[in-house]
Structure 1
Amino acid sequence: MSNSSVGGDVFFVLMGAILVFAMHGGFAFLEVGTVRHKNQVNALVKILVDFAISTVVYFFVGYSFAYGTSFLVDAATLSGGGGDFELQGLTLVKFFFLTTFAAAIPAIISGGIAERMKFLPQCLATAALVGIGYPLFEGIVWNGNFGLQSWLELTFGAGFHDFAGSVVVHAVGGWIALAAVLLLGTRLGRYDAKGRVIGIPPSSIPWLALGSWMLCVGWFGFNVMTAGSLGAASGLVAINSLMAMVGGILTALVVGRNDPGFVHNGALAGLVAVCAGSDIMHPVGSLIVGGLAGALFVKGFELCQNKLKIDDVLGVWPLHGLCGLWGGIAAGIFGLESLGGLGGVSLVSQLIGTFAGVAYAFALGLVVYGGLKAVIGLRLSAEDERKGADLAIHKISATPESDILR
């Protein structure tokens, strides 16, 4: 390859990494707008610190688990001087790109455990999940580790197809979050003594909306730049992402009865679901997949909060867990040539890969958060929870000047 073509690929992947990095701001503001005012600072700090921890553990441990490459070599080699490293640091920007995916796992979990989780155990959980837990499954799907993909292809004609992470990232994050939320328990005052729901309204619809917009914009880097090079970039991925997003918005609008929280999360539900098959589905298929995901999120959120009494603050299990599961299966349906897709997928492989992913993620969440609960505990004291995580953990509120003037 010429220097100009390698440089183009470096720039392409770097822009994707930057776009997905910006999505973490979206995670933060989506949580800021949903939690109560007394927990807004904690939401911002959690997402940023989780990203920092994720980067360090993924650099030293996680990437090696997934792809067998260590960065503990000299800078000349890292820049493309031999071994597993591509020219002009292309491998390094690919690491940056994949780090933003890995760091999405704790960012997803953060929304479910908000308002009552202690800070240290969440930091330790992030290190364990991004350093070991997530890369093990990532390597199985995206690097062919342990032979599962080869077996699926040999047995069913195609491996498990998850182009941009409906299952690898979103379903895994969502099902880990479900385990964490169940172990953590409900917020004080969320349900009364008879189990009736006590409403806790969002603190700021504009902040929530900003978070959704940031995530939507960055998602086109998440999906399109997964191609890994300029030569492999596909406009089909972009238009499929767009159609799934608007499908999710419209069905969430109708099924959610104009609720702004549902509408803004409906866009994300559609994008979660389209990740797996965004490179092989027809745009009409993507519109259907996204539309069904928007409705699935609304009904899943209502089931989670009202029927099952699971206090998942941002609804990350229905949004990422259920819609990610649907996306993995949908790729095996709407990716078929008979439904306008490009083919090369097997519904049986999609079912096996998807359910293996969610089972692994839920078990992983129980192990990591269950272990931490047994050793150091997960939850803030009742006093600190009533005070709010901002003052209890960070000793400052979202509006420090107003506190002084009281």
Structure 2
Amino acid sequence: MLATGVTPPGGNVFFLLMGAILVFAMHGGFAFLELGTVRRRSQVNALVKILSDFGISTIVYFFIGYHIAYGISFFGNVQTLTAGDHGFEMVRFFFLLTFAAAVPAIISGGIAERARFYPQLLATAFLVGLVYPFYEGIVWDNNYGVQAWFTQTFGAPFHDFAGSVVVHAMGGWMALMAVWLLGPRRGRYGKDGSIHAMPPSNIPFLALGSWILIIGWFGFNVMSAQQLAQVQGLVALNSLMALVGGMLAALAVGKGDPGFVHNGALAGLVAICAGSDVVQPIGALAIGAIAGIIFVYLFTFVQHRLRLDDVLGVWPLHGVCGVWGGLAVGIFGLKMLGGAGGVSFWSQLLGTGLGVLIALVGSAVVYGTIKAVIGIRLDAEAEYAGPDLSIHHVSAYPEEDIERA
């Protein structure tokens, strides 16, 4: 018999597999959140993009990205791959792949309704295969001595337990560059300064996407421990408090708008990822509430004042709330505020800034090159018809199309 407290053989494999499945399910949430937010002519495209991006991400992360981040490849025979740890490293790859593939899923929501399909898949290959794992390895595998320098200089490394910056801020700032290079949907902004509404096509599907993401997020955060012996109930409670804080704050300042309510919960979860293992639950509530307020006000500012057609508001939601989450660790993680300590605000500031810089430069190079060489935007006729018909040759409601014909 195993001694009390000893993880059984294969226990960590099963634990992390359940985490991978939960986070994989979140990609369905990304798909339905986008499907419900875009217009009817773009619903099929939203579903196909998210799944196709996941497939491309799997291939490039398996052959290139995981090795860049962790120095590990899977080219040995089966005996070598499974020796000693029941294949734990393989299921860890699956788990971390679901994180990596979240980056193009985030970007997808920002550039929805007017991006060409295959050039976007090409961008996914470069971002997930090269850009994302470069920063991932710096933070989570101590590559290039950056974390050692933070520790030596400021007394603590950059802390991002579950990816507020590594995943969400990276995806959001990459999306900002892509949205800027792509330009707004035709008809969104008038030359006279007017703004033309393009309302969501299906609020129930938007809400469904948010619910799926919320449920899967507990796998995203709690199972980032990656070992049964390291699991903390604190992470689960902090995730819950942050999502409620984000949702209620967005409900209040967003005046009951359903898009703000459902995305406010996600804003809180984005922000708590980094510090969910070191902040006190009341601190998590505050972090989430601030993130919910950030999202509501910044979404409106981006759309109306900056005139950037970020369809799902992924830069405010993931980019800015992810940055807030990284910085919040250096505040609410301090012992004087009830946190666990062992964090430095300066490490959080510089580590977060490094992630933003890599995301912006990487996205500018990838999307800028693709735009210059083959183009990234649908032509006017294809955009008018909508990506469902112009790319996939079927609408989300073919029976209704037949009846109208």
Which residues in structure 2 correspond to 1:6-405 (within 5 Å)? Answer: 6-79=9-82, 81=83, 87-405=85-403
In 2, Cα distance between the equivalents of 1:367 and 1:200?
30
1:4 is displaced (CA, Å) by 6.0
1:217-239 CA distances to partner (integer Å, 9 max, x unpaired)? 00000000000011100000000
1:195 is displaced (CA, Å) by 2.0
Name the SS for the 1:87 alignment partner: coil
With normalisation by structure 2, the TM-score equals 0.98
**Worse-matched range after superposition: 394-403 or 182-191:** 394-403
1:405 is displaced (CA, Å) by 2.4
**Distance change >3 Å, CA 4–CA 226, structure 1 → 2:** closer
Name the SS for the 2:26 alignment partner: helix
Q: Which 5+ residue runs of structure 2 have no aligned equivalent? A: none
Q: Which 5+ residue runs of structure 1 have no aligned equivalent? A: none
In 1, Cα distance between the equivalents of 2:121 and 2:26?
20
1:356 is displaced (CA, Å) by 1.1
In 1, Cα distance between the equivalents of 2:107 and 2:127?
11
- Confirm or deny: 8 A CA contact 2:109 2:312 kept in the other structure: yes
1:192 is displaced (CA, Å) by 1.2
In 2, Cα distance between the equivalents of 1:5 and 1:181?
48
1:41-72 CA distances to partner (integer Å, 9 max, x unpaired)? 00000000000110111011100000000111
- Confirm or deny: 8 A CA contact 2:41 2:395 kept in the other structure: yes
In 2, Cα distance between the equivalents of 1:313 and 1:331?
29
In 1, Cα distance between the equivalents of 2:47 and 2:14?
29
- Confirm or deny: 8 A CA contact 1:6 1:90 kept in the other structure: no
1:319 is displaced (CA, Å) by 0.2
In 2, Cα distance between the equivalents of 1:324 and 1:6?
36
1:401 is displaced (CA, Å) by 1.9
- Confirm or deny: 8 A CA contact 1:34 1:202 kept in the other structure: yes
In 1, Cα distance between the equivalents of 2:392 and 2:127?
24
1:246-289 CA distances to partner (integer Å, 9 max, x unpaired)? 00001100111110000000000000000000000000000000
Q: 1:44 is aligned with what amino acid?
A: L
In 2, Cα distance between the equivalents of 1:164 and 1:212?
19
1:168-219 CA distances to partner (integer Å, 9 max, x unpaired)? 0000000000000000000011011122211110000000000000000000
In 2, Cα distance between the equivalents of 1:330 and 1:123?
34
1:75 is displaced (CA, Å) by 1.2
Name the SS for the 1:196 alignment partner: coil
In 1, Cα distance between the equivalents of 2:114 and 2:15?
40
Name the SS for the 1:195 alignment partner: coil
Aligned residues: 401
1:404 is displaced (CA, Å) by 2.1
1:144 is displaced (CA, Å) by 0.3
In 1, Cα distance between the equivalents of 2:55 and 2:335?
42
Name the SS for the 2:229 alignment partner: coil
1:78 is displaced (CA, Å) by 1.0
Q: 2:292 is aligned with what amino acid?
A: G
In 2, Cα distance between the equivalents of 1:5 and 1:126?
38
Q: 1:8 is aligned with what amino acid?
A: G
In 2, Cα distance between the equivalents of 1:30 and 1:398?
15
Q: 1:355 is aligned with what amino acid?
A: G
In 1, Cα distance between the equivalents of 2:268 and 2:336?
22
Q: State the Cα RMSD in Å.
A: 1.1
In 2, Cα distance between the equivalents of 1:322 and 1:111?
15
In 2, Cα distance between the equivalents of 1:223 and 1:22?
14
In 1, Cα distance between the equivalents of 2:138 and 2:295?
28
Q: 1:134 is aligned with what amino acid?
A: Y
- Confirm or deny: 8 A CA contact 1:25 1:211 kept in the other structure: yes
